[in-house]
Amino acid sequence: MIWFLIFVPVIAAALLLIFFTKKVVWWEVAAMIVPSAIIILLMNTIMINSRTSDTEYLGAYTKKVVYYEAWNERVSCRHPIYCTRSYPCGKSTCTTTYVCGHHHPYDVDYHPEHWSKIDNLGAEYDISKAEYNRLKEQFDTKTYFVELNRDYHSIDGDAYHTNFAGQPEKSDVINSEHSYTNKIKASHSIFKFEDISEKEKTRWKLYDYPSIRGYYQPIVLGQKVDAITEKKLQYLNGYFGANKQFKTFILFFTDQSVEAALKQRSYWEGGNKNEFIICIGKDKSGNFDWVKCFSWMKKPSLEVEVEDYFNATKDLELSKFADWMPSKISQHWERRNFKDFEYLEIEVTENQMWIILVVILLYNIGISIWVVINEFEDADIQSQSNKKTFTKKSGFQQRLEEMERARKIARGEQIDVEPEKLSFMQKIRRKYYGE
């Protein structure tokens, strides 16, 4: 439907051709239609991308922390000596400046000590000394020396590594954001979710996605958990985030029906492609009431397993759940490939359509005014007009000459015929007989 907007420059060009024929040049019409088409295409692409762009949350865990010793290295001297030389330049003499040496053979760069952590994906992050010491103590493993074999000058800096031993309660999880294309959120297909108003959000006490502070992002919303349980749950996202592209959130609803889970699903538009959302209802006393899971898995086998676990145990002790969950993720979780939804057709919204229309109108009004007031005119039309004027004038003169020739014939006077109009025999007679 967006391409119906191309009629705006077409109509504008038609009006100019009707009312300002002599002022319109062919390339001015092209300057109206072609840029308008480009503007429509670009704005349509940008607005659709804005509607389909989504953010998912990825998890990883710290595999090791590293202490790098200070060191230095020899580098090329950065302190040149400049010389000047003169050379003939026309009638005068010019000078130029060039590097003719260095103050010393080399410079020495000093690299201070620093600390970092490396996740299970190989990414390295700079951290403070205090953070390094905290994680080193948290891992509680032996620190070992690593020879870096640097090409040093006088200080041979090496490194010391402390590895994570794989205990979930001692883990350090790194959360990050990642943008991806999600056509579902902008489509009008069967996957379209109910629009949730602010009033409904408040009524059902729905959750927004928790923000990432530093590298930390809460997993459990609506209920406090102890530090050990938090570590175990975070490790699920850290470990399986890389291995299985898995991310879980556990949302608690107090004194709400199971419909709250359905509202939450609509509010989060089904969740991101890598998410497994667990909604748990509690009664006023804080006891287990219901459980509902949702994700984009083709086969809801993990959803069934988790719902059966809570319905059977009615145990809200999430530490036990964190111990039970890893084997189920390994067995059942398979992230949905969102390329499955590439077939969905996405169009701009009504408001976006109006914005594009206004831009196209403003552009064509501006270019139309310019076409009328500029100095360019249609050369063909102008030439044809001049030709017609000339033809009419020549015909009138020719008619006068014919009338004068007729009067001379009537009086018996000699008529001088233009040489190019004489016949061959007339030309011979005029040449030899003077006729």
pTM: predicted TM-score of the whole model, two decimal places: 0.73
174 part of a folded domain = no
Q: Are residues 383 and 337 in the same domain?
A: no
- Say if residue 216 is in the same domain as residue 302: yes
- Provide mean pLDDT across the span 89-105: 89
Spatial distance between the Cα atoms of 31 and 17, rounded to a whole number of angstroms = 14
Alpha-carbon distances, residue 367 vs 31, 37, 107, 171, 362 (angstroms): 8, 14, 61, 64, 9
Residues 398 and 325 in one domain: no
Whether residue 398 lies inside any domain: the answer is yes
Residue 55 lies in a domain: no
The average confidence (pLDDT) of the chain is 87
Domain termination site, one of 154, 169, 184: 169
pLDDT tier at 410 (50, 70, 90 boundaries)? Answer: low
In a domain, 219, yes or no: yes
For the residues 42-65, what does the mean pLDDT come to? 91
Same-domain status, 156 and 225: no
Number of H helices, E strands in the chain: 11, 14
Using pLDDT thresholds of 50, 70 and 90, give the confidence band for residue 171.
very high
* Neighbouring-strand partners of residue 378: none
**CB atoms inside a 10 Å sphere around CB 67:** 19
pLDDT-derived band at 297, boundaries 50, 70, 90: very high
Residue 346 · residue 183 · CB < 8 Å: yes
The full DSSP string for 124-143 is: EEEE-HHHHHHHHHHHT--E
Q: Tell me what the mean pLDDT of segment 305-321 comes to.
A: 95
| Domain identity same for 203 and 141 | no
Same domain, 235 and 334: yes
Residue 427 domain-assigned (yes or no) = yes
pLDDT, residue 408, reads 67
Is the domain of 212 the same as that of 325?
A: yes
In order, the DSSP letters of 15-62 are HHHHH-GGG--HHHHHHHHHHHHHHHHHHHHHHHHHHHEEEEEEEEEE
Q: Considering its fold, how many domains does the chain have in total?
A: 3
Residue 278 lies in a domain: yes
pLDDT digits (tens, 9 = 90+) for 57-83: 999 999 999 999 999 999 999 899 999
According to the model, what pLDDT value does residue 17 have? 87
* Residues 164 and 197 grouped into a single domain: no
Q: Is residue 23 a part of any domain in this protein?
A: no
Residues 143 and 202 in one domain: no
Can you give the pLDDT at residue 271? 93
CA–CA distance, 40 with 77 (Å, rounded to integer): 55
Where does the pLDDT of residue 388 fall: very low under 50, low under 70, confident under 90, or very high at 90 and above? very low
Angstrom CA distances, 47 to 4, 9, 188, 237, 370, stand at 17, 21, 16, 33, 29
Residue numbers of the domain that contains 271: 192-341
The residue among 434 and 87 whose pLDDT is bigger is 87
Is residue 328 located within the same domain as residue 249? Answer: yes
Residue 392 pLDDT exceeds 50: no
Contacts of 183 (CB under 8 A, 6+ apart): 52, 338, 341, 342, 344, 346
Note whether 393 and 337 are same-domain residues. no
pLDDT recorded at residue 338: 81
Residues 84 and 145 in one domain: yes
Residue 104: pLDDT above 80? Answer: yes
Task: Kindly tell me if the per-residue pLDDT of 400 is higher than 90.
Answer: no
Helix axes 26-52, 7-19, angle to 10 degrees: 160
What average pLDDT does this structure show over 108-137? 96
Quickly state the pLDDT bin for 21 (edges 50, 70, 90): confident
Q: What pLDDT score does 45 carry?
A: 87
Give me 228's structure tokens: 């050990």
Task: Tell whether the model's pLDDT for residue 402 goes beyond 80.
Answer: no
pLDDT in tens, 333-381: 999 888 877 777 888 888 889 999 999 999 999 989 988 888 777 555 4
